Amino acid sequence: MQWESWAAFWEMGGKGGYVWWSYAVTFALVALELVLLAQRRKDTLKRLLRWRRAVGKDKEAGGRIPAAMEMER
């Protein structure tokens, strides 16, 4: 499509509000997803570190690692 001016492009025949609002909502949701993904990664890394420390203490004390926490080989 060709537009007569930038104003016409932004208005999009009277439907620009819907178009640009949908782009804004999509961008916001993608940004939120990236933030939540980063938080989840950080939390998972913390949990793994705590698990490794707990497993190390159990091994040093001669304890057995619970089956659910053993690594598959």
pLDDT one-digit tens code per residue, 2-53 = 778 989 888 888 999 999 999 999 999 999 999 999 999 999 999 999 988 8
Q: 70 falls in which pLDDT band (50, 70, 90)?
A: low
Within a domain: 70:
no
Within a domain: 2:
no
Within a domain: 54:
yes
pTM passes above 0.75: no
| Predicted pLDDT at 68 | 59
Give whole-number Cα distances, 27 to 20, 32, 63, in Å.
10, 9, 50
Domain count, the chain: 1
Within a domain: 3:
no
| Predicted pLDDT at 73 | 43
Nearest 5 degrees, angle CA 32-CA 36-CA 39?
Answer: 145
Range of the domain at 40: 10-61
Within a domain: 72:
no
Within a domain: 20:
yes
Within a domain: 38:
yes
